[in-house]
């Protein structure tokens, strides 16, 4: 509906309302100031019905415009439902990582640190704890990869395996240095 049609509909409705409110007072004033007319006047109800017809004719285009707006709003609601449904798997994926992977892995690291403090005099027990931590890290990485495979393609990570190589090398060197420090504290031979 164009602006001109809306404007004409508005003025038609306004004219009908003005006619409805002015017909009665004008008729009463004309009967009070004018001499009685022997001919019977037209009933006021006819004028009221005509005014209501003007109002109804002017409101019909506005009603159609409101109906189109309602249909457009329904389309917007449908789009929002689709977006919310697309965000659902991402929210579940992040919650699974937080509850299942990261928290459990950090708790296992804390337990391993406490065990290392208690087993510094026993290199074998220390080595077992370090291997256990490595196994937990590998398990967490595998689980994250499985969870990531559940996401749509445009939400997946694009980092390559080469990006993690320097970090793994640094962790490996730190583990070897830790074992050497333990043996040095015990007065034993350092690792070759």
Does any domain span residue 154? yes
148-190 confidence digits (pLDDT tens): 666 655 555 544 444 445 556 666 676 666 667 666 655 554 4
Range of the domain at 83: 3-158
Q: Is residue 185 part of a domain?
A: no
Domain for residue 104, yes or no? Answer: yes
Within a domain: 19: yes
Quick check: 42 pLDDT over 70? Answer: no
Q: What is the pLDDT of residues 102-135, one digit of tens each?
A: 556 666 666 666 655 655 556 666 667 677 777 7
Residue 70's pLDDT is 77
pLDDT at 12 over 70: yes
pTM attached to this predicted model: 0.24
pLDDT score for 13: 72
Specify if 145 maps to a domain.
yes
* Res 189: pLDDT: 46
Dmax over CA atoms of the chain, in Å, equals: 135
d(CA 176, CA 79): 55
More confident residue, 72 or 87: 72
Q: Does residue 121 lie within any of the structural domains?
A: yes
Looking at the domain assignment, is residue 190 inside a domain? no
User: Alpha-carbon distance 96 to 112, whole Å?
Assistant: 23
Contacts of 5 by beta carbon, 8 Å cutoff, 6+ apart: 61
Q: How many domains does the chain have?
A: 1
Q: Token pair 């009603």 is at which residue?
A: 63
Residue 14 within any structural domain of the chain:
yes
The confidence score (pLDDT) of residue 139 equals: 72
């Amino acid at each position: 509906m164009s602006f001109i049609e809306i404007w004409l509909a508005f003025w038609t409705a306004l004219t009908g309302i003005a006619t409805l409110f002015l017909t009665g007072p004008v008729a009463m004033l004309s009967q009070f100031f004018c001499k009685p007319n022997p001919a019977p006047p037209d009933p006021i109800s006819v004028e009221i019905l005509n005014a209501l017809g003007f109002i109804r004719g002017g409101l019909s285009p506005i009603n159609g415009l409101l109906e189109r707006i309602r249909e457009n709003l329904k389309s917007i609601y449908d789009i929002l439902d689709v977006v919310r449904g697309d965000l659902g798997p991402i929210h579940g994926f992040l919650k699974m990582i937080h509850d299942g992977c990261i928290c459990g892995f950090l708790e296992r690291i804390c337990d391993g640190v406490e065990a290392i403090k208690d087993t510094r005099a026993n290199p074998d027990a220390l080595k077992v704890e370090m291997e256990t931590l490595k196994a937990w890290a590998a398990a967490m990485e595998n689980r994250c990869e499985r969870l990531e495979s559940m996401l749509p393609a445009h939400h997946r990570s694009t980092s390559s395996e080469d990006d993690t190589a320097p970090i793994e090398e640094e962790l490996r060197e730190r583990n070897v240095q830790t074992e050497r420090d333990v043996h040095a504290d015990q007065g034993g031979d350092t690792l070759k």
